[in-house]
Amino acid sequence: MANGTVNYRKSTEQLTEEFAHSYLLKPQERYNAQREMRKMRLAQKALILRIRSRFPMNCRTDAQRDQFLDWFKAEARLVASRHSDSDDNNPDQHDQPPPDA
């Protein structure tokens, strides 16, 4: 689902319809999927706006570009290294109890 939301040529409604058709979702499941996709798109927009705000439009020097790229590298590393309960890259993660259990 998350990978589908980065296809900006399709609306959330179109993506939801495709997802619902592929997975034979019931109306409530379809509604929930659409809400989740909207949240994902909102998070994507927030991230892009944050990136744009850090890159000055009048950036003319190598030093300014290097400063932005250093920030971007650190930010990208932080985002990519963040594990969540929905992270599909670590299938064993769901089998482990919470740290304080």
SS3 81: helix
SS3 91: helix
Rounded Cα–Cα distance for residues 57 and 82 (Å) = 29
Regarding pTM above 0.85, the answer is no
| HSE-up (13 A, CA, CB side) for residue 1 | 22
Q: Is the pLDDT of residue 85 over 90?
A: no
Rounded Cα–Cα distance for residues 54 and 90 (Å) = 31
pLDDT of residue 88: 58
Q: Is the pLDDT of residue 5 over 90?
A: yes
